[in-house]
């Protein structure tokens, strides 16, 4: 019995280091413009809405991937966005993206070839970069149905700070 307690005490004292998370930048992005206001109202999106955002630039560490990724969410929806054109790796200058959306009670939809414009400053992002400014326009954001575009285009902007480990 004593031996079991000693082994348990030794095991609880061992600290296994967690794998390092890939470098990310986080912050809030705000909707600065919408087109087709009625269509945007139909998907509950308006100027002034904000999204908690995380950016994971490509290739900064072993586990940070080979493509830029950005994800953002609000109280009613979430988006995961990956560039697909003109390259499949770079968000800065992207003109199209693959977008996964969780939109309220409409559930999950995945879209390919979503028209976007995106710019990050500075770019490329380096490990020493303290903050990144993101400007992005996404067409047909938050479609409730995978077969029916929302015709709501939003422009979002934000300054993301490097995540402190």
Other beta carbons within 10 Å of 2:
6
Structure pTM? 0.82
**Higher pLDDT among residues 144 and 115, named by residue:** 115
CA–CA distances in Å: residue 131 to residues 54, 62, 82: 12, 21, 20
pLDDT tens profile 21-52: 788 999 999 999 999 999 999 888 999 999 99
Q: How far apart are CA 19 and CA 94, in angstroms?
A: 31
Instruction: Please state the rounded mean pLDDT for residues 63-90.
Output: 90
Instruction: Please state the rounded mean pLDDT for residues 46-65.
Output: 91
| Domains annotated on the chain, with CATH | 22-162 (2.40.128)
Check whether 11 has a pLDDT greater than 50: no
């Amino acid at each position: 019995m004593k031996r079991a307690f000693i082994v348990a005490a030794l095991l609880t004292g061992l600290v296994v280091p967690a794998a390092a998370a890939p470098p990310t930048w986080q912050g809030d992005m705000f909707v600065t413009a919408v087109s087709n206001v009625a269509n945007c109202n139909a998907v509950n999106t308006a100027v002034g809405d904000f999204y908690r955002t995380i950016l994971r630039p490509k290739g900064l560490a072993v586990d940070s991937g080979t493509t830029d990724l950005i994800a953002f969410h609000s109280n009613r929806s979430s988006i995961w966005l990956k560039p697909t054109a003109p390259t499949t790796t770079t968000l800065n200058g992207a003109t199209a993206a693959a977008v996964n959306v969780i939109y309220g009670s409409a559930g999950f939809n995945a879209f390919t070839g979503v028209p976007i414009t995106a710019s990050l400053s500075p770019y490329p992002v380096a490990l020493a970069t303290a903050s990144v400014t993101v400007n992005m326009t996404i067409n047909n954001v938050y479609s409730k149905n995978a077969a029916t575009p929302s015709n709501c285009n939003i422009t979002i902007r934000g300054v993301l700070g490097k995540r402190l480990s």
